[in-house]
């Protein structure tokens, strides 16, 4: 993306990933990439690990999730 002159902030990346996590098509696209021996793959645990291990290293401030209105 940098080669194309596109920059994405940490907050933008986190917000986009949160939306994708709600889409069944995204989950369906990811599962074939998981090693076959991982029959007990926990998609949400994997998301948390990626978010805390890698996404947290992106420059910028974290995304401020909108609180649900009661």
Q: How many domains does the chain have?
A: 1
pLDDT band at 7 (very low <50, low <70, confident <90, very high): confident
Nearest by Cα to 17 from 61, 53, 70, 55 = 55
CB 18 within 8 A of CB 44: no
Share of the chain above pLDDT 90, in %: 47
For residue 5, tell me if it sits in a domain: no
For residue 49, tell me if it sits in a domain: yes
pTM of the predicted model over 0.85: no
Domain that holds residue 50: 10-57
pLDDT score, position 65: 79
C-beta atoms surrounding 12 within 10 Å: 13
For residue 18, tell me if it sits in a domain: yes
Gyration radius (Cα) of the chain, Å: 14
Burial 17-30 (b: 16+ CB within 10 A, else e): eeeeeeeeeeeeee
Query: Could you read off the pLDDT of 40-65 as tens digits, one per residue?
Result: 888 889 999 999 999 999 989 999 87
């Amino acid at each position: 993306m940098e080669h194309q002159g596109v920059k994405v902030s940490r907050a933008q990346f986190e917000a986009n990933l949160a939306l994708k996590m709600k889409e069944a098509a995204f989950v369906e696209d990811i599962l074939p990439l998981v090693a076959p021996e991982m029959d007990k793959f926990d998609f949400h645990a994997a998301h948390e690990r990626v978010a805390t291990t890698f996404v947290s290293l992106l420059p910028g401030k974290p995304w401020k999730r909108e609180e649900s209105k009661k």
